[in-house]
Structure 1
Amino acid sequence: MVIDRRSNTIEDKEQLATPIGLYVLGEISLGKAAEQASVTRWEMEEILQEAGVELQLGPQSMDELEDEVDVALDRE
């Protein structure tokens, strides 16, 4: 089921409120939030961005990735 975010029905808002809240609290992943909202992962990303929620994704640059690899290798 694809949610038309242009329609602001109470049902649509209720369907999105819980997954967004749980994602913001770090209780569920982006994928789980999408599943609970009955949208694709990419649609959920867009919904969260429109709601002003900072996405919690992996490294955003090569430098960040290298830092994570360095930390992981130092812990072995």
Structure 2
Amino acid sequence: MASDRRRAQAEDASELAETIGLYALGEISLGRAAERANVSRWEMQEILEDAGVELRLGPQSDEELEDEVDVALDLE
């Protein structure tokens, strides 16, 4: 049981690290990163700041704008 819990925690940490990396590389938006990490945008912003990642506020491309709209529509 404990090893299952540690494995799940390691997988969660790995997924979060991947999400941070994708955001840092500009592959995903802040909204998409928050969605992947299952946290609010504000929590994701704190996570990124704690990781030393510079925030890109606002969409940087048409694709990011579409992602932001999709995430916003999913909140309804």
Q: What is the TM-score normalised by the length of structure 1?
A: 0.60
Give the fraction of aligned pairs with identical amino acids, expressed as a percent.
68
- Runs of 5+ consecutive residues of structure 2 not aligned to the other structure: 1-8, 59-76
- Runs of 5+ consecutive residues of structure 1 not aligned to the other structure: 1-8, 59-76
Tell me which residue corresponds to 2:22. Answer: 22
Aligned positions, number: 50
Residues 15-59 of structure 1: per-residue CA shift (max 9 Å, x gap) = 31111111001010000000001111000000000000010114x
Higher RCO by CA contacts (8 Å cutoff, separation 6 or greater): 2
TM superposition shift of 1:13: 1.4
The structure number with the bigger radius of gyration is: 1
CA-atom RMSD, angstroms?
1.3
Tell me which residue corresponds to 1:55. Answer: 55
Query: Which has a greater percent of helix?
Result: 2
Q: What is the TM-score normalised by the length of structure 2?
A: 0.60
Alignment-mate amino acid for residue 35 of structure 1: E
Tell me which residue corresponds to 1:31. Answer: 31
Runs of 4+ aligned structure 1 residues displaced above 4 Å come to: none
Secondary structure in 2 matching 1:13: helix
